[in-house]
A = this chain, B = another copy of it.
Amino acid sequence: MSSSQQARAVVLEAFGAPVRSRELPVAEPGPGAIVATVELAGVCGTDVHLQAGRLPIPLPVVLGHEGVGRIAALGEGVTEDSLGTPLAAGDLVAWGSSISCGDCFYCRDAQEPTLCERRRIYGINRRADEWPHLGGAWAEAIYLHPGSMVVRLGAGTPPEAVIALGCAGPTAVHGLLGVAPVGVGESVVVQGVGPVGLATAMYAQLAGAANVVLIGGPASRLERARALGVGDAYLELDAQSPAERLDAVRELTGGRGGDLVVEATGVPAAVAEGLELCRPGGRYLVLGQYTDHGPTPLNPHLVTRKQLRVLGSWAFSQADYATYLRTVPQLAARFDLPRLLERFTLGDAQAALDAARAGEVGKAVLVPDAG
């Protein structure tokens, strides 16, 4: 931090305008809260959407829903992390981005906290002009409220590995381990090779899939996946027609289609193709339809005739985030995660956003103390 009282932060003040660097006061942590200095903060496609004004959020806001840092100060009563490990100033920690209300039908009765309508999310719906101001990870410090999922990072969980997948990691955990678990020996087809597609494919491999087929583009992204050891076969979107891809997937899956097909594109038209790519009796995980583009032509007969299970997955819970952190060492042992990183200073946050928008980088991250 620039001083003990102030921290620099990247603030979105107006939709469509460049982000601004501001000095904001660092609050003392209240009971149950934590103040952490940020070591690495991820830049995510959602940040691009936020800046463009595509999501209804309050402004101004300190961006950054992905972060890893060190404990600066512990509020009264905080002696352990959320998994029961003792915590002290200086400890390296990661935190989940959201806090559900714990009280509504979805939190308490249905036990589906990702559907909570009162979720508070760091870097998204916490105003920068209200106490405690530092509500996002694109800053020298962040104020972590009581109820946050904060986990001390052990030796096997390097911060670079945690941040390399960003929120795509726990999103894949929620979808692929929670909503539509993969069985050992199964064939998995992943539509999309952005962060969510990549993370999903990694978890499919970790879960024992016999065969992971990646569909996407451009070729450079498929190449990046291949270089990381992610996926067993690659179909370039622009090189084939949908009918050719269907043939190719069938050939790779014993003639039947994928046991599990994962939609990780955000493009509505991908869903029509995905239903075709599933084998009879298969599952289709609709993981990427985050924005509402309205209706698209889909054939419901396929759902009945092939007896499909079409499964939606929204966001991730604190439990998913805990599972994510628990499995980062396994991912890191198998895939060279830090290789994905491209570092930016806080001052270059707008350049990082631009790079993320262009899809040029594996994973843009901000390093607050780098300048």
A residues with a Cβ closer than 8 A to B are 82-84, 102-106, 108-112, 114-115, 147, 149, 177, 179, 181, 183-185, 203, 206-208, 210, 254-256, 263, 268, 271-272, 280-281, 286-314, 318-319, 322-323, 326-327, 329-330
Query: Can you tell how many copies of this chain the complex includes?
Result: 4
Distance in angstroms from A108 CB to nearest chain B CB is 6
Q: Which residues of B contact A268 (CB under 8 A)?
A: 300-301
Known contacts A207-B207, A300-B268, A312-B309; A280 and B115 CB within 8 A of each other: yes
> Are B300 and A330 in contact, CB atoms less than 8 angstroms apart?
no
Closest residue of B by beta carbon distance from A304: B289
5 cross-chain CB contacts under 8 A: A108-B322, A272-B295, A290-B301, A303-B312, A309-B311
Q: How far is the CA of A268 from the CA of B103 in the complex (A)?
A: 38
Known contacts A112-B281, A208-B207, A281-B112; A291 and B300 CB within 8 A of each other: no
- Most B CB within 10 A of own CB, among A105, A268, A300: A300
Q: Which residues of B contact A291 (CB under 8 A)?
A: 301
Closest residue of B by beta carbon distance from A185: B327
> Are B149 and A108 in contact, CB atoms less than 8 angstroms apart?
yes
Distance in angstroms from A259 CB to nearest chain B CB is 9
> Are B179 and A181 in contact, CB atoms less than 8 angstroms apart?
no
- Most B CB within 10 A of own CB, among A183, A292, A297, A305: A305
> Are B286 and A303 in contact, CB atoms less than 8 angstroms apart?
yes
Q: Which residues of B contact A312 (CB under 8 A)?
A: 302-310
> Are A296 and B294 in contact, CB atoms less than 8 angstroms apart?
no
> Are A110 and B281 in contact, CB atoms less than 8 angstroms apart?
yes
Q: Which residues of B contact A289 (CB under 8 A)?
A: 300-301, 303-305
Known contacts A82-B103, A295-B272; A208 and B330 CB within 8 A of each other: yes
Q: How far is the CA of A296 from the CA of B111 in the complex (A)?
A: 33
Q: How far is the CA of A327 from the CA of B181 in the complex (A)?
A: 17
Which are the 6 A-B pairs with shortest beta-carbon distances?
Answer: A295-B297, A303-B312, A289-B304, A310-B310, A185-B327, A298-B298
Distance in angstroms from A106 CB to nearest chain B CB is 7
Closest residue of B by beta carbon distance from A256: B105
Distance in angstroms from A115 CB to nearest chain B CB is 5
Q: Which of the residues B181, B256, B309, B330 comes within 8 Å of A185, measured between beta carbons?
A: B330
> Are A210 and B313 in contact, CB atoms less than 8 angstroms apart?
no
Q: How far is the CA of A147 from the CA of B108 in the complex (A)?
A: 10
Q: How far is the CA of A329 from the CA of B311 in the complex (A)?
A: 30
Q: Which residues of B contact A254 (CB under 8 A)?
A: 83-84
> Are A329 and B83 in contact, CB atoms less than 8 angstroms apart?
no
Known contacts A84-B105, A268-B300, A292-B305; A184 and B319 CB within 8 A of each other: no
> Are A329 and B112 in contact, CB atoms less than 8 angstroms apart?
no
Distance in angstroms from A338 CB to nearest chain B CB is 20
